[in-house]
Structure formats: C-alpha cells, structure tokens
Structure 1
Amino acid sequence: MARQEQDREDLMREATALYPRAELQVQHEIEPVFWGQKRSGQFSFYFGGDPVYQFDVQGHLRRAYLDGQLYRTQGTTLARLKRTRTADSSTLERYDLTEAEREAVLSGMSDRFAKVLGQLEDPQSFQLTAFLADATEQELLMQIRAHISLVLQGATELAPRIRGKR
C-alpha cells in the first residue's frame, strides 16, 4: 500500500516489488485493472487508484483501500485506518468494523472479482495491455485467474493479523 494516498499512475513502471505484474482493460471496468505478485507469493489487484486489494498467498484479504479509506486485517475483523497529519507527525486512528460492515466490504469485493473472472473467460471482454513476466500471455492469464479464484474461495476469510500491527 502506498505511503501517500495519491493516484497510482504508472504501476507497471513503479511497482517494482511486484513481479510478475500485468495491466488489463476489462469490459465492465472504467479504469485498467492492475495485478501483481510479490516474491513471497502475496498478490494485489488495483482497480485504477481505488479500490486496491492486497492478499496473502491463500487469497485472504490483508489490506484494502476503498472509497479513500485504508483497511487492514486484524485476523478476525477489518480495521479502518484514518491518517491524521500535522506539521510534526502522522498518526493512524483505528476503527474495528462491525460484523455487518466487514461482511459488506467482503461481499462487495467478492462481487467485483466474480465479474472480473467472468470477463476473463471471454477473450472479447478484456485486453492484456501490458505485462512484465517470465511467462507467456496465456500462462500469465492463467495465474491471474487462479488468484481471482483463490480470492473467491476465501472471500469470507481474512488473512492473519499483520505482525507488529495492532
């Protein structure tokens, strides 16, 4: 997740920690969809600048940026984080989502990924516009589909609490 909440203009160039990575134009999405994987196997999807979803290797949500708000897993719930900046410091205020709020976030995420997966099954509904990978386009698309499938399988589960983060 970016330290600065700003437009994520050129992820293909700037997201060097994500390799392989790819950008797709999907029919029902206004902004390009960016996907990338870390060396650890964790992966991310960016739908333009917002929303952004980061997952562990099992496809469980770790972090998100939705409607201008930062979210982070606490293991059993999601915390919404609000950054307060002063001239001297920056602090994060944490609010743990209720079960209903958590379910709404996860349901919205699941719906969006189900639509994208459906579009990726129809070659006329998407275009791979850029990629950096040691793989063919077909292999890369298979990997992206597999990651979306993991997300959908684990859509009701959160990743374990991020160590060192409370």
Structure 2
Amino acid sequence: MPGPVNENVPTELIAMARNEADREDLFEEFRSARIKWEFADSASETVIVAGIRHDERLSVYFNTDPCYHFDAENRLMRAFVDGKLLRTHGTFLAQLNRIRTEQETVLQRHDMVDDELQELLSDVHANLKQFQESLVQNQLTVVRSSDEETDLSSLTERLEVILSKPIALAPPYPTRRK
C-alpha cells in the first residue's frame, strides 16, 4: 500500500516497486536489439551502447545516463537523463523523478514544455552530435557487436538523419493505464 502523498507537491505521483537492479552490462541486457554495438571512449572513459531493434527503434546509452530511445521515424520516444525518466506525450515530455523510501519508490511527474523542453532537446542533439563525430573520426573502439561484422553504416546513417534537423518528439508513448 502506498504511503501518504505530500499535498504540497503539485505533480502527479505514481507508486512503483521499490527494488530496482543496477545495470552492470548494458550490452548483454539489450536483448531486444537485432544489431547492437558497445563502444569505449578512452578519452572520457565513457561506455556507449547503441542498438537497433527489429521494429527499427534506435537506442543510445551513454553509460547508464543519459540514454535516448527513438522510434522508427527518428523521433524521441523516451529518455533517461540526470536520473529522471522522460516520456513523450507528442508535444511535451513528462519527466518522472524517482523518490525512494524504504517501503516504495514513487514517481513525481513534471511536464517539460517551452524553454525547458528546448534546452533538453538541445542537449540530446549535442550528445548525439558528439557521438556521431567520434564515430566518424574513429575515436571510439568497438568493444563488442551483435555479430562478427562491425559495419556501423546503419547506425551512422540513423544518427545523420536524426541530427539533420531539430530533435522531434514521437507521438504520445502508449501506456497501460487508460
């Protein structure tokens, strides 16, 4: 049973399970990808995992935070940034912040719009641009890939399309709640 809700918090609260596992091996956990790569950036000590699923969704993980998930049309669907979950609602992002207690984890919702949304989308663009440039300049080492061939063309082409214009939001992300 969820604990009491602080009436001073003007955002939606959603109770969640308390226990969450830390991600130790993103590459292995990313089983839904039909093709995936793990890169090492020795300059920044960053591990980057990128993958394309069977339905053509693209995910890019910079360590465990941030990570970005794009639909088949290269629009941002979901993200995890600064410890907060972000989910598209078509014209804005819902930011969900985990608040943990010993009994439960609660998500506090804040809708990102206007300047705040544009700043976040600018950061997404900058991170992906840096990743793309590092790929093109061979500054990253492919540590593992999902098959023997390490052809990066499908990944670099997707990044090029995403970065060719401002980051767009996908239509509202479907939820189980109606």
* TM > 0.5 fold call: yes
- Mark the runs of 5 or more structure 2 residues left unpaired by the alignment: 1-16
AA of the residue aligned to 1:106: L
Distance change in 2, residues 1:75/1:28 (3 Å): farther
Residue 93, structure 1, aligned to residue 104, structure 2 = no
* Aligned counterpart, 2:58: 43
- Mark the runs of 5 or more structure 1 residues left unpaired by the alignment: none
AA of the residue aligned to 2:37: A
Q: What percentage of residue pairs aligned between the two structures are identical?
A: 29
The answer (yes or no) to whether the contact 1:27–1:119 under 8 Å persists in 2 is: no
Measure, in 2, the Cα distance between the counterparts of 1:5 and 1:103.
30
Q: CA deviation at 1:91?
A: 4.5
Measure, in 2, the Cα distance between the counterparts of 1:131 and 1:34.
9
Larger C-alpha radius of gyration, 1 or 2?
2
* Aligned counterpart, 2:136: 121
* Aligned counterpart, 1:78: 93
Q: CA deviation at 1:88?
A: 6.7
Matched residue SS, 2:34 = coil
Coordinate RMSD, CA, aligned: 2.4
Matched residue SS, 1:106 = helix
Residue 136, structure 1, aligned to residue 149, structure 2 = yes
Name the one with the larger helix percent: 1
Q: CA deviation at 1:58?
A: 1.6
Measure, in 2, the Cα distance between the counterparts of 1:143 and 1:27.
23
Measure, in 1, the Cα distance between the counterparts of 2:168 and 2:62.
21
Residue 159, structure 1, aligned to residue 170, structure 2 = yes
The answer (yes or no) to whether the contact 2:67–2:80 under 8 Å persists in 1 is: yes
Q: CA deviation at 1:27?
A: 5.3
Paired positions, count: 160
Distance change in 2, residues 1:154/1:57 (3 Å): farther
* Aligned counterpart, 1:62: 77
Measure, in 2, the Cα distance between the counterparts of 1:19 and 1:31.
23
